[in-house]
Chain A
Amino acid sequence: MKSTEGTFQSVWTLGEQRDGRISPVSYELLAWGRDLADKRGTTLASVILGYNLKDRVNTLIEHGADIIYVVDNPALEHAYPDAHAAVLEKLVREFLPEIFIASATTYGRTIMPVLAAKLETGLTADCTGLDIDPETGLLIQTRPAIGGNVMATIKTPKHRPQMSTVRPRSRKPLASDASRKGQVIVRECPDDAYASKVKFLEFIKDETTALPIQEAEIVVSGGKGLKDAKNFQMVHELADLLGASVGASRQAVDLGWIPYSHQVGLSGKTVSPHLYVCAGVSGAVQHIAGMSSADIVVAINNDPDAPIFRVCDFGIVGDAIEIIPILIEKLQSQKATSPK
């Protein structure tokens, strides 16, 4: 849509749910949205599609939304891209938001490009920063490209809504405030909007109970330097102790020590944990591409010239196979003595 096609106002976030439960990324997104809406002097709305979630959406208001648009229909229970995008398109064309952001999850990164194509507007992927240009009022979208080696600032000057997906964990949610007031608007759509050419058959859950690495607060990764699958078990042990999810270099994945869903890097997942610990990982550019936005990086490697040491906050030059067990032991005794 061209910016001249109507009066576009308000900031929207796309809420996300799994099995009728609102995903935490929805709240992170509201923290970004709240800032943008305040800077624009407008309202913040969250849109959420699914089934049986009418009674659960109040938490979105508690985390910063002024308005919730809910479309609650069995046809939306699963994330069918065609149906979800069609419903969102109807809502956007009716309410004309100026800015519409979603999380850069598999859901957001699928629905948003479909929606942007239908609305004929721009979409900026996987942003790590969002702001408002004080002069023009335009959304300033900042994102890494080429493996995090380049940061680009992107605007959508003449098309609306200005749309972006935002990297999970790039922002902490606002504190929940049960006294916040907001409006819940439940919408129905014409039947054709719900039609999908995709059908859900089943969900095969990962056996691990840990969070997917993209959402984890702490990630512990292992690389080829751990030498074999047995040693790689130490990474799991350390991760359990720290309440972390397990990551890996591509070499470790290619050697079959751990499934691909745990690969960090250019051809794997991008992670933004608070703490990233890695052992036996050399720190190739393609690996760093996936973890450079971690807050704190700890590395263990026996090669003092390993590139990972240039991007770490704390490094130990030494044999990881010897060091990790000692670390595990110390953390265990630490845990036993401290109340936390």
Chain B
Amino acid sequence: MIDFHTYPIMIKELIEKDPSLGIHIRDILGFYFPPQPLSVFLYEMDAAGIEKSVLLPIDCSITHHCKIPSNETIADLVDKNPRFVGFASVDPNSKNSEKELNSSITQLGLKGLFLDPAIQRFGINSKEVTYPLYQICLELKIPVLIHCGLNWSPKSLARFANPLDLEEVAQDFPELKIIISNLGWPWYKEAIMLAMKYRNIYLDTSVMYSGIPKEMFSHLIGTLIGKGVFERNLHFQIIYGSNFPRVDMRRTMRGISAMDFSVDFKKHLFLENALTVLGKEGKS
């Protein structure tokens, strides 16, 4: 199983090495619990039955003057542990963003691009700022994961993260694999509409707004959306992601597992769709 949405933050070894990272994690992302050793991240994966985790950094060097953490740090974590798959982040508002994305993929070996428009504050459908990055993703055959909807960061602005703004992108880049995180919540209807209409739009399940995960998934997927919508329409476009450490992997996994999806859907939810998005590299 792959967890497609995790953040390597509040990791004791990284913060001890760079104390300013801890300050940025607190002030920009709003995490206040004690940092934990990297081993706890791996034990958490074990406890949830996760084999590999996609690590997501956030480069907000223009908007908030920091990288949480850097792409080099992500590459270093991946080099030291084969259970990690690293994504790159670049700040779309930076004039160096295209060059940095290129080098992060071709030289550091990262496997995708992560964008967090609510924190980085850019237009996800901006032809000037963002389209050149989408073009590079297309050329390098890597996916782009975009955090949409609710963002718990105290510095985020949700108006930048409406998934409906991705419709034009889906049309202009039909071969680009775009993953909308968080099921787009509270704009989950818009996110699902896009995924139903465009085969290059994927959704990750990293939503968490209230209640224990089992209760929340049951209400959102079982009652509001309908399990059949996932099973019938989005069988090959839903990807499991926890949003760790906003919520723990164990309870998230138990919550979505309790949805009683078909065996084949679960195979795609927890593994196959992630491998499809990551391409051959992800299957190693």
Q: Do A and B bind each other?
A: no
Q: Footprint of B on A, CB under 8 Å? A: none
Interface of B with A (CB < 8 Å)?
none
